[in-house]
Amino acid sequence: MFYVDGKPVEFVKSYPHLGHIIKACMDDNEDISHRRGAFIGQENNVLCYFNTRNSHTKYRLFQSYSTRFYGCELWCMLDDEVQGLCTAWRKSIRKIWELPYRTHSYLLPLLCCSLPLFDQLCIRSLNFVQRCLAHDSDVVKFISADLH
């Protein structure tokens, strides 16, 4: 057992920090799953509190309140939980626009005039890596070279 300032250091498999779940095994699935649950809750709040508004207004509110995925730039986009989050996004779009369940998922971004969620997440990740590679610090450049 390790001690810091006379107090034992607790070993845990995961730990919440600044709204993210950090795991000892360095995967993102628990964090993404947690964010998916929060996303669904926010989407339900928009639909509940603004149910009398038209679909366009609900969509704009949904975009403002529900699609902030801070830290997603560091997620592994190959994680299965990312696809679960994208599925939840598509279901939300169908609810907001009051579309049938069987509306093809390729049509949803076109209705919203936006990219699919997976594409948005990938662009954010690529922009993050690009900014790191162009950073003034040689240390940041060196570490980020392993990201791509």
User: Is pLDDT larger for residue 6 or for residue 98?
Assistant: 98
DSSP string, 54-72: -HHHHHHHHHHHH---TTG
Residue type, 24: A
Burial of 17 (0-12, 13-18, 19+ CB in 10 A): exposed
Q: How far is CA 129 from CA 14, 28, 30, 103, in A?
A: 25, 18, 23, 35
Residue 13 has pLDDT above 90, yes or no: no
User: Is pLDDT larger for residue 22 or for residue 53?
Assistant: 53
pLDDT digits (tens, 9 = 90+) for 89-106: 999 999 999 999 999 999
User: Is pLDDT larger for residue 26 or for residue 117?
Assistant: 117
**Backbone phi and psi for residue 100, each to the nearest 5 degrees, phi listed first:** -65, 155
50-71: average pLDDT: 92
CA-to-CA distance for 67 and 44, rounded, in angstroms? 13
pLDDT digits (tens, 9 = 90+) for 73-86: 989 999 999 999 99
Would you state the pLDDT for residue 141? 84
Are 74 and 127 in contact by the 8 Å Cβ rule? The answer is no
